[in-house]
Amino acid sequence: MTLKPVQTLGEFIIDRQDHFKYATGELSRILSAIRLATKIVNNHVNMAGLLDILGDHGEENVQGEKQQKLDVFANNIFINTLSQREVVCGVASEENEDFIAIKSSKNQDSSKYVVLIDPLDGSSNIDVNVSVGTIFSIYRRVTPSGTPVTLEDFLQPGHKQVAAGYVVYGTSTILVYTTGHGVNGFTLNPGVGVFFLSHPDMRFPEKGKIYSINEGNYSKFPTGVKKYLKYCQEVEGDRPYTSRYIGSLCSDFHRNLLKGGIYIYPSGTNSPNGKLRLLYECNPMAFIAEQAGGKASDGYRRILDIEPTSLHQRVPFFCGSKDMVEKVEEFMKE
């Protein structure tokens, strides 16, 4: 079997620089740093059964969740890699209580961008060898360049993102991202350590038939969600739909993007406002979804229009094929 000659991620980033109105090379360098960190994390994920990196780290993160050893490792790798490139003025991570200000040794506080990241999404699946991922989001700072980065630079609505993406560490490792000009996916060739364009111009299928939700929480769901699930299970037309839930947002979202479907994590579970974080998970996935012809909502309003109030704010999340999201919104509003 021979591999098709395709474009590398590095070549693609350079070719598409003119799509970004503030193109100065910095955004390309940020994406390159994320690419490097991704390859390092991928190597450790693939070696997880051989290295002493499985299991609990012994501490909890700011949300009170048990940290896995790989959580801590991935968090350190992404923060260190982004810091050393001197192209971002700040990083916020799901694993840290506060943002991290980064100062350039060349020109203090001169960088124009901040990065928000979920270093290892779905980390509770690590020990059972189920796909995990990374989610990232990039914003242009709103405070003046040359001044210290502040919380205001991170608390921006999702529609102000300049780039967002995710990585799935699965049977193959794929990096999917957008800069607001469509969505493209790149698969890692482990033999040469290079990402190659494998999924150009990704789009949600117009008609989805998969719904992804933890139905174990059914008794706590809002009435609108319960009615939507009954709708999905009815024998009528192209229904019933298929239920598929991995428990790793990156993996569930990626499957639904390719096959057509909706991901739901509502309020009314053990987390009153939903489990997913607006800044680290919902905004970047919503940006990608819209660029791929899909839709993302909290059940009533567009995710990308929500004004954040805190770094670790949680919101209900309905994301996927446009028709499916609009249908569940109908049930929510009734």
Q: What residues form the annotated binding site for Mg(2+)?
A: 94, 118, 120-121, 281
Binding site residues, as ranges? Answer: 94, 118, 120-124, 214, 245, 275, 281
Half-sphere exposure of 290 (CA within 13 A, CB side): 18
Alpha-carbon distance of 274 to 277, in angstroms, equals 8
39 DSSP β-pair partners: none
Element (H, E) at 52: none
As given in the structure block, the two tokens for residue 38 are 């991704």
Half-sphere exposure of 287 (CA within 13 A, CB side): 29
Based on C-alpha coordinates, what's the Rg of the chain? 19
Residues 325/293, Cβ–Cβ less than 8 Å: no
Residues 203/29, Cβ–Cβ less than 8 Å: no
Amino acid at 300: Y
As given in the structure block, the two tokens for residue 124 are 């509770």
CA 9, 259, 173, 302 torsion-angle sign: positive
Half-sphere exposure of 168 (CA within 13 A, CB side): 21
Q: How many CB atoms are closer than 10 A to CB 21?
A: 8
What are the C-alpha distances in Å from 75 to residues 80, 137, 157?
9, 15, 23
Residues 250/131, Cβ–Cβ less than 8 Å: yes
Alpha-carbon distance of 230 to 313, in angstroms, equals 30
Binding site residues for substrate, as ranges? Answer: 121-124, 214, 245, 275
What are the C-alpha distances in Å from 249 to residues 62, 124, 134, 213?
19, 12, 10, 10
